């Protein structure tokens, strides 16, 4: 029998290989519908890390898989919940988790869409959106609750030091999580749902309800691109936050030359300079709000 070697010793779930085999749920590659033929994606090594699949337990009884990357070292580390784009947990999201783990975080990316299917290998956007639309806000917040419960139960997580980040669809999830869970220390949003501008047609896939601004529990740093059509609601969002008395809790940065998905290095929209600047800001922001990464030396 193969048993995973951990710095903190063998845990009971290491004996359940069928659960660890859930890693097959994650697409081996980049999202087909958005992959650029000219892309040269960043590839972050797993050396010095533990990569595993967690099985989360939402209240609906579904066994939800989540990709986990964490330092291969003893002790407790702060944790970051990573919310994917509409393409689910594919190589880009997994790489982001490894980047965070190398900094000194436990990073976890739940596979929110797997109740219905995996959008990563699909090229047909209507088929992708059918899967995405099936993931309702109540379901996803239940999944986030399950991820937080899992993190708090782990001997390698500093349970009172948990943050969240997310991209595109996951940016909207990040806003909602920060409005739902008081235990989150901070959130970093990369594009995502905006407040509906005046005159725009309603679309539940895209717009963030302005009335939720009053519920914001923790500081949020949000990045948008001026050339992204989905970012037209930035000023409306700022107004909603100000009206709710939450303006000081949210910093929204708009990059003049960036489009949608500017951090996604596998897409044609990738903007290396703005992506690097935003990533640097993410690190500073998390550290300033109780989520400083913990330096580590990997165990043998």
Q: In this predicted model, what pLDDT tens digit does every residue of 46-95 receive, in sequence order? A: 999 999 999 999 999 999 999 999 999 999 999 999 999 999 999 999 99
Q: Of the given ranges (11-20, 69-78, 135-144, 212-221), which has the lowest mean pLDDT?
A: 11-20
Helix (H) or strand (E) segment spanning residue 243: helix 234-243
pTM above 0.95, yes or no: no
Q: Are 232 and 194 spatial neighbours (Cβ–Cβ below 8 Å)? A: yes
Overall fold of domain 32-288 = Rossmann fold (3.40.50)
Give the C-alpha separation, 187 to 220, whole Å.
5
Percent of residues, the chain, with pLDDT higher than 70: 86
pLDDT of the residue at 243: 93
Q: Is pLDDT of 28 > 90?
A: no
Catalytic residue among 228, 263, 265, 274: 228
Q: Distances in Å between the alpha carbon of 121 and those of 27, 129, 211?
A: 7, 13, 36
Q: Is pLDDT of 109 > 50?
A: yes
What's the first-to-final CA gap in the chain, in angstroms? 21
Assess whether 257 carries a catalytic annotation.
no
Assess whether 178 carries a catalytic annotation.
no
Q: Of the given ranges (15-19, 79-83, 162-166, 263-267), which has the lowest mean pLDDT?
A: 15-19
- Residue indicated by tokens 């991209």: 167
Catalytic residue among 260, 263, 265, 274: 260
| Per-residue tokens: 1 | 């029998």
Q: Are 238 and 247 spatial neighbours (Cβ–Cβ below 8 Å)? A: yes
pLDDT digits (tens, 9 = 90+) for 203-239: 544 566 677 889 999 999 999 999 988 777 788 889 8
213: burial class by Cβ within 10 Å (0-12, 13-18, 19+)? buried
Three-class DSSP category at 110: strand
The interaxial angle of helices 169-178 and 137-152, nearest 10 deg, is 70
Catalytic residue among 97, 168, 178, 218: 168
Strand spans (E) along the chain = 49-56, 64-71, 77-83, 106-110, 157-167, 187-190, 220-225, 250-255
Assess whether 260 carries a catalytic annotation.
yes
Q: Of the given ranges (5-9, 157-161, 204-208), which has the lowest mean pLDDT?
A: 204-208
């Amino acid at each position: 029998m193969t048993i995973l070697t951990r710095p903190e010793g063998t845990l009971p779930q290491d004996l359940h290989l069928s659960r660890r085999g859930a890693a097959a749920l994650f697409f081996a590659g980049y999202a087909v519908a958005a992959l650029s033929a000219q892309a040269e994606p960043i590839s972050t090594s797993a050396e010095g890390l533990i990569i595993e699949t967690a099985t989360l337990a939402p209240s609906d009884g579904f066994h939800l898989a989540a990709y986990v990357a964490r330092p291969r070292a003893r002790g407790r580390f702060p944790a970051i919940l990573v919310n994917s784009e509409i393409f689910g947990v594919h190589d880009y999201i997994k790489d982001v988790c490894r980047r965070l783990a190398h900094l000194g975080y436990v990073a976890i990316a739940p596979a929110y869409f797997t109740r219905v299917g995996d959008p990563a290998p699909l090229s047909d956007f209507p088929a992708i959106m059918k899967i995405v639309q099936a993931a309702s806000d109540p379901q996803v917040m239940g999944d986030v609750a399950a991820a937080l419960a899992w993190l708090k139960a782990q001997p390698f997580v500093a349970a009172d030091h948990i943050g969240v980040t997310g991209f595109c669809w996951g940016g909207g999830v990040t806003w909602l999580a920060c409005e739902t869970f008081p235990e989150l220390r901070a959130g970093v949003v990369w594009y995502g749902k905006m407040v509906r501008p005046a005159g725009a047609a309603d679309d539940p896939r895209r717009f963030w309800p302005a009335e939720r601004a009053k519920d914001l529990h923790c500081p949020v740093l949000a990045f948008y691109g001026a050339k992204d059509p989905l970012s037209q609601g930035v000023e409306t969002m700022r107004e909603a936050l100000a009206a709710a008395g939450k303006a000081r809790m949210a910093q929204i940065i708009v990059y003049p030359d960036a489009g949608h998905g500017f951090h996604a290095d596998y897409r044609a929209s990738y903007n290396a300079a703005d992506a690097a600047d935003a990533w640097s800001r993410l690190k500073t922001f998390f550290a300033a709000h109780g989520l400083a990464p913990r330096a580590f030396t990997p165990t043998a």
